[in-house]
Amino acid sequence: MARQQSGSQAAQRARPRRPVYPGWSEAEDRVVSRFARAIVRGRYPHVKQALPDCRRELAPIAPGLQRTDVAIAWRLLCRAYDFGLPRWMHFWTDQERRLLEPHALALALGKYSDAPTAVRLVNRAFKQAGLAVRHTDESVRDEILERARALGRAPRSGCFSPEEVRVIARFSRALVRNEYRHGTAAVADCHRALARAGITRRRSDRALALRINTGARALGWMLGPVAWSASGARTVDRFARALVSGKYPSIVAAARACRYALERAGQFGNRTDSGLRAKLRKQALDMRKAGFRPRWSAEELRILDRFARAIMRGAYPTASAAAEPCRRALERTGLPVRARARAVEDKLRHLVLGLRHKRHP
């Protein structure tokens, strides 16, 4: 038994140990804190995008200490949490809150008829400011309502009057008789019927559709899957290709643009945003499996090769650090940047591996 213990101790001593890195100095912490504040303010959407600039400023402080990307990223993230970064993925930046504030105030003052109107105008303000679409309509609506209540908007009662219930019940029965495909399709007629009945309070389209569907389900109605028409499938396919090629930064942005196109063509019908996102995601995955990703042009390959050789020389510690500068170089040349930063990073890794194999076959 003692012999086995001594053997295991000898094996542990012979095993190479993980290098011990010194603690973070005050100068390093100042640099990390500055970039963490920039992340909280919205200058960098994610920690990964701030990593190359932070590493570049940390390098002269401790030239002999090569901290890993993971260590710097964790330090940045922890400091950003200390400065108020919410612990969820799609946090709201200070710039987004500034753009949302006047619309929340207008909703609180009654200048907007309902929250969906404010959501549409906030999304337009984000687009005009050049911000990427990062939040769903539901998330924007919740943020607007919360801010509007803080600015003095009176809480709205969700109770329907008996007159409203009688009018809405007619449309629930019509939905059961298949006169409408879904409660959303009956909303416009229901608004007109409520106005004819002398009811001045205007309910939101979402509230009316939900009430009509609830009444119809109580009568035995069930929503069945609706097949895509040929023109609708072509529209979804077009936006899935745009998503794969990098035209849209996220599935949320592509789904929102696709929904607007389908609504203009009268093809959205009774579908939901989550169903459309699932359809787009499936189409995009099928295209990637089929090798739809566009090929790199000769000019793009020359730029990528230049950055791959810079990685080999030590100008960039990793392909991850070189991905964003390479992407900016592609944009400066006027080339359409069809791939995302992850695709650029993967291509750089592939080129570096090829160069290393040529150097040491």
142 with 174, same domain: the answer is: no
CA distance linking residue 281 with residue 251, whole number of Å: 7
Choose the final residue of a domain: 198, 218, 238. 218
In a domain, 15, yes or no: no
pLDDT at 133: 63
CB-based contact 270:185 (threshold 8 Å)? yes
In a domain, 78, yes or no: yes
In a domain, 237, yes or no: yes
Could you tell me which of 182, 268, 155, 264 has the C-alpha nearest to residue 190? 182
CB-based contact 352:309 (threshold 8 Å)? no
User: How many structural domains is the chain composed of?
Assistant: 5
CA distance linking residue 101 with residue 95, whole number of Å: 10
pLDDT at 335: 57
Whole-angstrom CA distances from 128 to 99, 133, 218, 258, 290 are 10, 11, 44, 19, 36
Choose the final residue of a domain: 289, 316, 338. 289
pLDDT at 21: 61
134 with 99, same domain: the answer is: yes
In a domain, 38, yes or no: yes
DSSP SS3 for 156: coil
Host domain of residue 328: 298-359
CB-based contact 15:7 (threshold 8 Å)? no
276 with 306, same domain: the answer is: no
pLDDT at 291: 45
**Cα of 200 vs its chain's centroid, Å:** 39
In a domain, 308, yes or no: yes
pLDDT at 321: 83
Choose the final residue of a domain: 238, 269, 289. 289
167 with 204, same domain: the answer is: yes
255 with 284, same domain: the answer is: yes
361 residues of the chain, pLDDT tens digit each = 445 555 555 555 555 555 556 778 888 889 999 998 888 777 887 788 888 899 889 888 877 777 888 888 888 988 887 776 766 555 677 788 889 999 999 988 888 878 888 999 998 898 888 776 667 788 888 888 888 888 887 666 567 888 888 999 999 998 888 788 778 888 889 989 988 988 877 787 888 888 898 888 888 777 665 677 788 888 999 998 888 877 787 788 888 889 888 888 877 766 777 788 888 888 887 776 544 455 677 888 888 899 989 988 888 888 888 888 888 888 777 655 555 556 788 788 888 888 877 776 5
101 with 51, same domain: the answer is: no
Phi-psi region of 50 (alpha: psi -120 to 50; beta: other; left: phi over 0): alpha
In a domain, 195, yes or no: yes
Instruction: Give kind and range of the element (H or E) at residue 286.
Output: helix 273-289
In a domain, 19, yes or no: no
pLDDT at 139: 81
Token digits of residue 14: 């012979």
Whole-angstrom CA distances from 96 to 101, 111, 250, 350 are 9, 21, 17, 37
In a domain, 246, yes or no: yes
pLDDT at 101: 92
This prediction's pTM: 0.33
